[in-house]
Amino acid sequence: MKKRLTLAACLAVVLAAPVALASTGANSSTLDALFTPTAIGIALGAVTGAVGLFAGGTWLTERRKRRIALGAYHAFHVVEDIAAEDPEENLVDKAAKGLEVIDTWMKTNGWRPLKPGEQALVKLQFSALHGEQKAGEKVQQQALSVALGAVAAKAAVEGAVPTMPRGQQ
Which tens digit of pLDDT belongs to each residue from 96-151?
888 888 899 889 988 888 888 888 888 888 888 888 888 888 888 888 888 888 77
Where are the chain's structural domains? 43-145
pTM, two decimals, is 0.49
CA 79 to chain centre: 18
Q: What is the 3-state secondary structure (H, E, C) of the chain?
A: CHHHHHHHHHHHHHHHHHHHHHHCCCCHHHHHHHCCHHHHHHHHHHHHHHHHHHHHHHHHHHHHHHHHHHHHHHHHHHHHHHHHHCCCCCCCCHHHHHHHHHHHHHHHCCCCCCCHHHHHHHHHHHHHHHHHHHHHHHHHHHHHHHHHHHHHHHHHHHHHCCCCCCCCC
Instruction: Give the model confidence (pLDDT) of 33-45 as tens digits.
Output: 777 777 777 777 7
Q: Distance (Å, rounded) from C-alpha 136 to C-alpha 91?
A: 22
Mean per-residue pLDDT, 42-66: 70
Q: Distance (Å, rounded) from C-alpha 125 to C-alpha 131?
A: 10
Q: Distance (Å, rounded) from C-alpha 158 to C-alpha 19?
A: 99
Q: Distance (Å, rounded) from C-alpha 7 to C-alpha 47?
A: 10
Q: What is the largest CA-CA distance in the chain?
A: 125
